[in-house]
Amino acid sequence: MSSTEFDTKMVDRQVGRNAELFARALNKLDTAEQRYPYLRILVSIVEQAHPEWNQAPQKDLQIARLVIEMGTRVEESEIVEVVRVRDEERGYFHDGAGAAPTR
């Protein structure tokens, strides 16, 4: 790894450079099954960095778009699904596409 990988400005200072590197590393995993546990970790990091998004109407899409902007080439729908599964495990349910999670 060279210092040229750090020449670009961080996408999101609240999430940080380590999360960006983690997002890029996901590109080396071939299947959704392989990526799933790592996407959960990355989504958790983003949620902790942005607690104000927890009740946002399009939280799932906001997180997915940020993760993609951080350098992962994972499909947006795959990331959205991980966000929704995590929310449902905590008792929050999405009413529809982009709807705010409700209890």
Q: Which residue has the tokens 């799933």?
A: 36
In a 10 Å sphere around its CB, with 0-12 CB exposed, 13-18 middle and 19+ buried, how is residue 91 labelled? Answer: exposed
Tell me the average confidence (pLDDT) per consecutive run of 10 residues in the chain, 103 residues long.
Answer: 60 88 95 97 96 91 96 96 93 65 60
pLDDT value for 95: 66
pLDDT value for 96: 59
Q: CA 101, 73, 82: angle at the middle one, nearest 5?
A: 25
Identify residue 88 by its one-letter amino acid code: E
